[in-house]
A = this chain, B = another copy of it.
Amino acid sequence: MKRILLAVGLLGAGHCAHAQAASPLTARLDKVSLRVALGPDRRPTYSVFYGPNEVSLRQEGMVKGPKEVIKPSRLGLSFADGNGFDGPLVMVGSETKDVDETWQPVWGEVKSIRNHYQQLTVHLRQPAADGRKMDVVFRVFADGVGFRYEFPRQTRLQYFTVQDEHTEFNLPANHKAFWIPGDYDSNEYTYTTSRLSEVNTTPIEPIQQKADPKRVQTPLMLKSDDGLYVNIHEAALVNYPAMFLNVNTQTFGLSSQLVPDATGTGAKAYLQAPEHTPWRTIVVADNAPAVLASKLILNLNEPSKVAETSWIKPQKFVGVWWEMHVNRASWNYADTSNIKLAGTNWNALKNNGHHGANTANVKRYIDFAAAHHIPGVLVEGWNVGWEDWANNWKEEVFDFVTPYPDFDVDELQRYAAGKGVKLIMHHETSSSVTNYERRQDAAYRFMQQHGYDAVKTGYVGRIIPRGEHHDGQWMVNHYVRTAQRTADSRIMVDMHESVRPTGLHRTYPNWLANEAARGNEFNAWSSGNPPEHETILPFTRLMGGPMDYTPGIFQIKLDDWNPARNQCKQVHTTLAKQLALYVTMYSPLQMAADLPEAYNQHLDAFQFIEDVPVDWDDTRILAAEPGDYLTTVRKAKGKDEWYLGAITDENARQQAVKLDFLTPGQRYEAIIYADGKGADWQKNPMAYRITKQTVTSKSVLKLQLAPGGGAAVSFKPVK
């Protein structure tokens, strides 16, 4: 560790600006470099560059210097008590250290992850001699920079309220951006691709409530005209609100906007020192695949807090779920509105005749899962309260322990166990989180008593505590607490409508996945997801962690399920692309989302879903461009098997895939699940063709992707 005690700090505040300007603090790893300085106003700023350093430049005779990734940008926070770090500061000192280590995730895209960075810690103090102290800690990786604010233990700063964070990300030019509107309560939007100067959320229909027209969410994916790919997000979001970004459409500056709390005072976070903010992350690369391969966000998260992890099992599942979306069944048991949880005699209600979570129907899914080696069966709508659960801002909405009269929880426990299948619990909260929190203990005991070891939670609607937001500090703490509480009960968790993830699945490996984006389900009851959607998600939402996207829809045109109600709704991909998503959309928890009767029509195609793993030793991004295409190949955990997914947007593409990732000298059987002749997401989505080839590492596969199409390939060694 190098320790640099800055002379400027010792000279005192009056000399800082000048001295500082002369010698900014720097850190670098490979092509990424960082400068930190006090500006003329003695506020700290940072800037980030990508490219060879000046020494290399001279040595190599290069003429062009490193590219500016982030222009000098403000750092700082203001506090509710007025005594924050938003004014002039003194740089008291700094340290750097180099770290190079590797660690093994409990599950993931790769077996082992290198954590290699140079760290620069800058010690700041308010100008008064006894002023409050704050550090900014930067970590410079080969693929980007992370930094956070840290508040050491100190007498003059114990409990404090963050009123605003002033972190800026000033971009040097009018980059292309892939963005969704800054809704503090939802991220279920399609992405808009535009120049930063064109950001305007006004025409977009809100999912919950949009804020400023120039406010967008992270992960924000950017591409510069000179070929840099930049992704801005955060890591390890704990005890702090999510960061949104206000876009200055004229200067191309981004400034952080924290989600406010319920008080209406503009307060953002209630903290107690020692404490720190989440890491602000900037991933940068000169090619798109490198962004997807980045482990920067995971590396900035803490190691697992779950000591014994053998019970955590990445898995596929089917479920009583899509049949509700396609209007073949209902979550609710009775077609009665205005139900009260307390005092209702559920046995006296009239069964509407199409309640999905009935014992016989669930057995059908268990049978299908058992026959096809799918470990899990999700059942939604099993518990009382669905008659008018949504949009009423109702606190006593579900109790999480009372099954509907036609759901025989004991019988299904016995039946599933007999078939070697696990039922997956569902806890829709209707965003009545206070209600859920006071019932969580009982709900998890109920799960343990009935053989459930995984739960899908949901947060549809407006939050209770009323006035709080899905992405505010209070809810962030709820999600993290729920990850911890489920871990304490040896329960895996998949959260829907939560804040978007920030790599916390490293710390809580039982937190398998989140929704927190616009999933496949939107195809069932909205204008749907455009064919490019799944080529953007990995560059945005998935940068923070796995998504329960619910791929695998085979019955692409939904009219066939219920023409009267589905009215030309359809999934906006081909069938083959649905298969490819199991590889391109990484998740340790993957649903085979369609109905058993849909799969039974296409068991040859279903074979890929049955075969494809959910945990991996290696991953290679073979080709990628956000909004256009993505080809990914992954090596199965502990096996010499590879699985490839290739997808395209609305344009047909040919992908020539070199198979040099395969073990040299080994022959493999490749089963290729490709778009069929004339396939087209809109006109002919279900045409697919399955072929087999024997290949080696020297082979090249030519994949033809239809408009909105894709291809999936399994490679198994030939014995």
Residue A87 at the B interface, CB < 8 A?
Answer: no
CB of A45, distance to nearest CB on chain B (Å): 31
Collect the chain B residues with CB atoms within 8 Å of residue A337's CB.
158
Distance in Å from the Cβ of A270 to the closest Cβ of chain B? Answer: 6
Chain A interface residue count, CB cutoff 8 Å, equals 32
CB distance from A416 to the nearest CB of B (A): 27
Q: Closest approach, in angstroms, between the C-beta of A619 and any C-beta of chain B?
A: 35
Contact A272 B438 (CB under 8 A): no
B-contacting 9-mer, from A184-192, A391-399, A556-564, A680-688 = A391-399
A441 at the interface (CB under 8 A from B): yes
| Min C-beta distance of A244 to chain B, whole Å | 20
Q: A434 within 8 Å of B by Cβ?
A: yes
User: By the criterion CB–CB under 8 Å, are A466 and B392 in contact?
Assistant: no
Secondary structure class of chain A's binding surface, majority of residues:
loop
- In the complex, whether A467 has a CB less than 8 A from a CB of chain B is yes
Q: Mark A444-477, 1 if CB is under 8 A from B, else 0.
A: 0000000000000000000001111000001001
**Contact B338–A273 (Cβ < 8 Å):** yes
Residues in chain B near residue A153, CB distance under 8 A: 338
> When the two chains form their complex, are residues A159 and B262 in contact, meaning their CB atoms are under 8 A apart?
no
Interface 1/0s, chain A 382-398, versus B by CB < 8 A?
00000010001111000
* Residue A227 lies at the interface, judged by CB distance under 8 Å to chain B: no
List of B residues within 8 angstroms of A261 by Cβ: 466-467
Q: A264-B264, A264-B467 are in contact. Are A392 and B338 (CB under 8 A)?
A: no
Min C-beta distance of A334 to chain B, whole Å:
15
A99 contacts B by Cβ under 8 Å: no
Question: Given that A153-B338, A338-B273 are contacting pairs, would A434 and B158 also be in contact in the complex, using a CB cutoff of 8 Å?
Answer: no
Contact check, B441 vs A270: say whether CB atoms are below 8 A apart.
no
Contact status A270-B437, CB under 8 Å: no
CB distance B392 to A159 under 8 Å? yes
Query: Are A465's CB and B392's CB within 8 A?
Result: no
Digitize A251-279: 1 where CB-to-B-CB distance is under 8 Å, 0 elsewhere: 00000000001111001001011000000
Considering the chains assembled together, what is the distance between the CA atoms of A267 and B393 in angstroms?
A: 12
Q: Does A417 contact B (CB under 8 A)?
A: no
A388 to B272, CA, bound (A): 11
Q: Which of A256-315 contact B (CB under 8 A)?
A: 261-264, 267, 270, 272-273
A-B contact pairs, 12 of them (CB 8 A): A153-B338, A158-B337, A158-B338, A158-B392, A159-B338, A262-B262, A262-B466, A264-B467, A434-B434, A465-B466, A465-B467, A467-B467
In the complex where A337-B158, A441-B442 touch, is A467 in contact with B262 (Cβ < 8 A)?
Answer: yes
Query: Which of A263, A437, A442: most chain B Cβ within 10 A?
Result: A263
Instruction: Mark interface residues in A329-343 (1 if CB within 8 Å of B CB, else 0).
Output: 000000001101000
Q: Does A440 contact B (CB under 8 A)?
A: yes
